[in-house]
Chain A
Amino acid sequence: MNVVGTSAKRIDGIEKVTGSAEFTTDIVLPRMIHAKVKRSPFAHARILGIDTSKAEQMPGVRAVITAADLPDIRLGILTLDEHLLAHDKTRLVGEPVAAVAADTPEIARSACEQIEVEYEELPPLFDPEEAIRLDPPVVLHEEYEEYEKLLEIAEMDERPPNLWQAYRIRHGDIDAAFKQVEDEGGHIIENRYATGYVHTACMEPHGAVAQWSSDGTLTLWAGGQSPYIARDGLAKALDLSPSKVRVIVPFVGGAFGGKLTVKEGAIAAALARKARRPVKIILTRAEDLSATAARTPFIFDIKDAVTKEGILIGRKVTSILWGGGYSGEGILKPIFSTHLYPGSYRLAALWVDSYGVYTNRVSGGALRGYGCAESAWAVETQMDIIARECDIDAVELRINNLLTEGERTAITMPAHAFSAHECLTKCADAIEWETPSESLEHPWYRGKGIALGNKYSFAPTASSTELKVHEDASCELRTSAVDLGQGAYTILTQIVADEFGIEIDQVKLVTPDTAITPFDHVAGSSRQTFHTGNATRMACDDAKRQIRELAAPKLEADPDDLDVSGGRIFVKGSPERSIEVEDLFVVEMLAGKRPADVEVIGKATWEVTASPHDPNTGQGEEPMAYMGHGAQAAEVEVNVETGQVRIRKFVSAIDVGKAMNPQGVEMQNYGGGCMGIGIALHEDMCFDASGEMTNASLMDYKIPSIAEMPLNEYMESIIVEVPHQHGPYGAKGAGEIVVVPTSPAIGNAIYDAIGVRIWDQPLTPEKVVKAWKEKKAAGNGSGA
């Protein structure tokens, strides 16, 4: 049976298409009431007092909470800087200040309006370059030094008061690299790039249902990315033992990094405890867009030393992550984004200073590509500029600078299963790179662009699974991996079916429930196929070992000489000497069948260790679990009068090691491409002078529609398979690499079409027109 590698149908497909799949919002419990959050209208303010008396007296209101009802505990991923409800200050518009549970969501919303909060407005700070000064105009966290921190940052003579992350890379002799290039007349290329504010904007907004049982156990249903991160976060926020928290993950309507933690779930839990009723909270679309973590902007200053022959020998980068009011899930981005500075390229010298700072805007979070999608924008645009400066073809220049298998990058990541060359050349072939774009009639211009990308999958990390074998030879996989829409449940089912030689419908999944399913780190960092896939294979092996041991006496054979497949146990080489799995079970009075000896439950933990890099040098042992590779190319049509950019053709070539489900990979290619196109051209969270988001609706926050995508036949998915030594069946993840090269591929295509660079995302029509006008004003605007 070869189920792995086939385009098996999505096991959740019918449920989702028919609407029977249960999401958090579908959950209704007896006596359940509804929560709404009172949010700060100010980007920066001191809370002088909160009067909840009017709200509490409203008919239908069952509980009102403020920070006073919660333990005085600061939360966070690695720097614990945030209260669940604002304690003494608010540091962004939309920060939760109080919450109400009432019989209906409408009553809860009205009650929130009746809560009176007395604020002392403080001057807000939005500019990251002001924020990073040693003498900033505003300090957001006066008590920063007292905060608990779980991560060491780079040593500094004096820490700028708004800085929460500093990371350095010191590899090779950077001064020598620049001197060599200066001496021999090579190229020094220096540019500034910026990314924008992007939201995950999942179809399913954030939400949770919380219920307490009489023994003091909290059960929370929430569509998050990790039941265990959620469990431990809830326990911390509410000062409970983790064993007193049970998290169940229903179907999830997209996450993309935005559902790592369940802050709203903790608020619902606190309300439920006070009201002694189950509480449901579902954020409105406006709350979801404006008050949950977003992909906040980076500023990148990159300076490259390139020889006359087009070999990159030195790179200097200073970057600032424009963090929000709290460090949040963005805490590691200034570190992880550095993986793209070497990326797939050999770099003799690399010098990086990477920072994260507080500002009074939405907190930084994860979004598909965690830092790499952002740094790729800078690095891969820079590679295009270098190619043009050196007058070398952009594909050839990249190839000339690629690492080879077995080498280590400038940040000590081994180049293993190194497929950059294959991804790049297959992508170039598909976009007909050698053939220039056709000329169109003014004001339309066509051009092609290409970019390479990497995506690490972080370590240390672990996944555990359990596999129970039933008397009918069906298998039940217990996993805390989460299917966010990426297809994890189907892949894991395929693995079990493959390992046991059974049909897909003989595999049942027990989906995330911390009372039942074992630890899995997170559905993030493109890790479920790789890590949970490995754990699943190992749990299958463990279960098969148990079966072989149970069957050995019956078959009068050594367990090692037995094999299990298709519901039978047989002697290797003599398949006629076999018994059914069912024969291992005996009839028990009143109970049907039970296992003859012990329950067959395979268990396994797959673990990848890694030691943290020295934050002062960026050097150390192998820092990540694996590195994914991919290349994308776009052919665009640009209207220089309106600035409209149409993607005429889009190619995405990604290396997945082994395509566990080729159709699933194809969908990642298409879906990721669409998301990447949105980030490159359309999506932009806008803020007014007070720090409030001004386009917090799906009408105004421009997620592209299908009409903005290339026509079907012009959207091409290429699957590259260079197996990874540690991947299950050789597989690597596909979830994030598909958005990493998209923006630079499109930006480079725009340059090819009309000869202008736009340095800050998104590349909106207005920016295109402005850049074109500037080019014409500079006197070389006769055409592309």
Chain B
Amino acid sequence: MIDCHYLEPTTVSEACALLAEHGDGAKVVAGGQQMSLLLRNGLIQPSHLISIQHVSGLEDIAESADGVTIGAKVTLNRLIGVDNAHPTLRALSRAVEDVADQQIRNFATLGGAICEAHPASDINVVLSTLNASVKLVSASGERVVSIDDFVTDAFATAVRPGELLTEVVVPSFDLTSAAAAYRRFVLRAGDYSVVGVGTFVSLDGAGSCQDVRIVVGNCSGTPAQAQEAEGRLKGHNIVGNNALADAGDLAAAHVAPSGDPMASSEYKIDLVNVLTREALAEAVALATG
């Protein structure tokens, strides 16, 4: 039985005050897509639900020289096509297209998707690939934390009691020489990914890899950087040779996913290999395109 208080602040400071007041038992609900599942399945028993539905100012998308800032309440559907105005968000926009379905994306928010910290979340993998960070506001101030530090384990984050995630910052990069991509495999459209891989590559004019980031989703509790695969690429020419295939092999060789009823560990490792290669190829094509 769900038995808790439902509070509806209208400003960030009110929300933070309520979060501080009710401590660990307080949970934030935005679009309610994850929360309703968590509650129904009895996975959390909050004493207070703090709805930020009426909190204003968390729905903007703005770009500066440093990057794009996305309000926590921006819905997933609003992110589809957002790369027309903000091209560095291309991989995020494409990834969101395949998340769940139209009705869920109309309600689900970016902030909610991040805070859920689902190990199979596409969004956190893409944000990690893009080196994104989140802003956390509390009654006593605010702090900025990278996605990698924010997601601490499956369904666990670094958010402290009293803190509200208000925005996401995706740093800018040079679109003429760098690009990001995301590939996922699902058993059925709209499902959580069996495996997802995000890649970011920056190339010089000769096809040498200046910077690279490969992040694997759903093979551990958090998005996981494939450092061995990155090491095979960084500083090397990666166009027109076996580098990307090698990186796929290396990424696969260094993950140890647990199997689940829908996919064995061995199969997930196969998918990491394929998706890493494909996501790298897509990013390289975009960066050299």
A residues touching B (Cβ–Cβ < 8 Å)? 106-107, 109-110, 641-644, 682, 686, 694-695, 699-700, 702, 704-705, 707-708, 764-766, 769-770
Cα(A106)–Cα(B2), bound, Å: 9
Please state if B261 and A705 are interface contacts (CB–CB under 8 Å): no
CB distance from A191 to the nearest CB of B (A): 24
Please state if B188 and A702 are interface contacts (CB–CB under 8 Å): yes
Cα(A711)–Cα(B189), bound, Å: 14
Cα(A702)–Cα(B187), bound, Å: 8
Q: Which has the most chain A C-beta neighbours within 10 Å: B185, B192, B262, B264?
A: B262
Complex A-B, nearest 9 residue pairs according to Cβ-Cβ distance, in ascending order: A707-B189, A686-B261, A766-B267, A106-B1, A641-B274, A694-B261, A705-B189, A702-B188, A695-B261
Residues of chain A within 8 A of B1, CB atoms compared: 106-107, 109-110
Please state if A700 and B262 are interface contacts (CB–CB under 8 Å): yes
Nearest B residue to A767 by beta-carbon distance? Answer: B267
Cα(A769)–Cα(B270), bound, Å: 9
Please state if B262 and A705 are interface contacts (CB–CB under 8 Å): no
Partner of A705, one of B190, B267, B270: B190
Q: Does B271 contact A (CB under 8 A)?
A: yes
Q: Does B191 contact A (CB under 8 A)?
A: yes
Q: Does B256 contact A (CB under 8 A)?
A: no
Nearest A residue to B270 by beta-carbon distance? Answer: A769
Residues of chain B within 8 A of A109, CB atoms compared: 1
Residues of chain B within 8 A of A765, CB atoms compared: 185, 187, 267
Partner of B191, one of A110, A699, A764, A770: A699
Please state if A642 and B185 are interface contacts (CB–CB under 8 Å): yes
Partner of B262, one of A110, A643, A695, A769: A695
Nearest B residue to A110 by beta-carbon distance? Answer: B1
What would be 21 A-B contacts, judged by CB atoms less than 8 Å apart? A106-B1, A641-B270, A641-B274, A642-B185, A642-B270, A642-B271, A642-B274, A643-B267, A686-B261, A695-B261, A699-B192, A700-B262, A702-B187, A702-B191, A705-B188, A705-B189, A707-B188, A708-B189, A765-B185, A765-B187, A769-B267
Q: Residues 231-274 of chain B: 1 if any A CB is under 8 Å from the residue's CB, otherwise 0?
A: 00000000000000000000000000000011110010011001
Nearest A residue to B261 by beta-carbon distance? Answer: A686
Cα(A708)–Cα(B267), bound, Å: 21
Interface size of B by CB at 8 A reads: 16
Residues of chain A within 8 A of B270, CB atoms compared: 641-642, 769
Please state if A704 and B188 are interface contacts (CB–CB under 8 Å): yes
Cα(A242)–Cα(B100), bound, Å: 48
Please state if B188 and A708 are interface contacts (CB–CB under 8 Å): yes
CB distance from A363 to the nearest CB of B (A): 21
Residues of chain B within 8 A of A705, CB atoms compared: 188-190
Residues of chain B within 8 A of A107, CB atoms compared: 1
Residues of chain B within 8 A of A686, CB atoms compared: 261-262
Please state if A644 and B185 are interface contacts (CB–CB under 8 Å): yes
Cα(A705)–Cα(B102), bound, Å: 13
CB distance from A695 to the nearest CB of B (A): 5
Dominant secondary structure at the B interface: loop
CB distance from A690 to the nearest CB of B (A): 13
Residues of chain B within 8 A of A708, CB atoms compared: 188-189
Residues of chain B within 8 A of A642, CB atoms compared: 185, 270-271, 274
Q: Which has the most chain B C-beta neighbours within 10 Å: A109, A694, A699, A704?
A: A699
Please state if A766 and B190 are interface contacts (CB–CB under 8 Å): no
Residues of chain B within 8 A of A707, CB atoms compared: 188-190
CB distance from A578 to the nearest CB of B (A): 58
Find residues 164-216 in chain B having any chain A CB closer than 8 Å to their own CB.
Answer: 185, 187-192
Residues of chain B within 8 A of A694, CB atoms compared: 261
Q: A766 with B261: in contact, given A106-B1, A682-B187 (CB under 8 Å)?
A: no
Please state if B262 and A682 are interface contacts (CB–CB under 8 Å): no
Nearest A residue to B187 by beta-carbon distance? Answer: A702
Cα(A169)–Cα(B267), bound, Å: 42
Nearest A residue to B263 by beta-carbon distance? Answer: A766
Please state if A766 and B188 are interface contacts (CB–CB under 8 Å): no
Residues of chain B within 8 A of A766, CB atoms compared: 263-264, 267
Cα(A769)–Cα(B267), bound, Å: 8
Nearest A residue to B3 by beta-carbon distance? Answer: A106
Cα(A158)–Cα(B223), bound, Å: 58
Residues of chain B within 8 A of A641, CB atoms compared: 270, 274
CB distance from B113 to the nearest CB of A (A): 16
Residues of chain A within 8 A of B187, CB atoms compared: 682, 702, 764-765
Residues of chain A within 8 A of B263, CB atoms compared: 766
Residues of chain A within 8 A of B189, CB atoms compared: 705, 707-708
CB distance from A196 to the nearest CB of B (A): 12
CB distance from A59 to the nearest CB of B (A): 13
Q: A644-B185, A702-B262, A707-B190 are in contact. List 12 more A-B contacts (CB 8 A).
A: A109-B1, A642-B185, A642-B270, A682-B187, A686-B261, A695-B262, A700-B261, A700-B262, A707-B188, A765-B185, A765-B187, A766-B264
Partner of B188, one of A643, A682, A695: A682
Residues of chain B within 8 A of A699, CB atoms compared: 191-192
CB distance from B274 to the nearest CB of A (A): 4
Cα(A769)–Cα(B188), bound, Å: 17
Cα(A641)–Cα(B271), bound, Å: 8
Cα(A702)–Cα(B1), bound, Å: 28
CB distance from B81 to the nearest CB of A (A): 20
Nearest A residue to B264 by beta-carbon distance? Answer: A766
Nearest B residue to A688 by beta-carbon distance? Answer: B261
Q: Which has the most chain B C-beta neighbours within 10 Å: A106, A644, A702, A766?
A: A766
Nearest B residue to A766 by beta-carbon distance? Answer: B267
Residues of chain A within 8 A of B192, CB atoms compared: 699
Residues of chain A within 8 A of B190, CB atoms compared: 705, 707
Cα(A764)–Cα(B261), bound, Å: 12
Cα(A769)–Cα(B271), bound, Å: 10
Cα(A223)–Cα(B211), bound, Å: 62
CB distance from B33 to the nearest CB of A (A): 12
Nearest A residue to B100 by beta-carbon distance? Answer: A699
CB distance from B21 to the nearest CB of A (A): 28
Nearest B residue to A708 by beta-carbon distance? Answer: B188
Cα(A107)–Cα(B3), bound, Å: 12
Residues of chain B within 8 A of A682, CB atoms compared: 187-188
Cα(A699)–Cα(B263), bound, Å: 15
CB distance from A585 to the nearest CB of B (A): 54
Residues of chain A within 8 A of B267, CB atoms compared: 643, 765-766, 769-770
Q: Which has the most chain A C-beta neighbours within 10 Å: B187, B189, B190, B264?
A: B187
Cα(A349)–Cα(B261), bound, Å: 42
Cα(A644)–Cα(B270), bound, Å: 13
CB distance from B77 to the nearest CB of A (A): 17
Residues of chain B within 8 A of A106, CB atoms compared: 1
Residues of chain B within 8 A of A700, CB atoms compared: 261-262
Nearest A residue to B267 by beta-carbon distance? Answer: A766
Cα(A695)–Cα(B263), bound, Å: 12
Cα(A765)–Cα(B192), bound, Å: 16
Residues of chain B within 8 A of A769, CB atoms compared: 267, 270
Q: Residues 219-236 of chain B: 1 if any A CB is under 8 Å from the residue's CB, otherwise 0?
A: 000000000000000000
CB distance from A618 to the nearest CB of B (A): 38
Residues of chain A within 8 A of B188, CB atoms compared: 682, 702, 704-705, 707-708
Residues of chain B within 8 A of A764, CB atoms compared: 187
CB distance from A638 to the nearest CB of B (A): 14
CB distance from A1 to the nearest CB of B (A): 44
Nearest A residue to B192 by beta-carbon distance? Answer: A699
Residues of chain A within 8 A of B274, CB atoms compared: 641-642
Cα(A766)–Cα(B187), bound, Å: 10
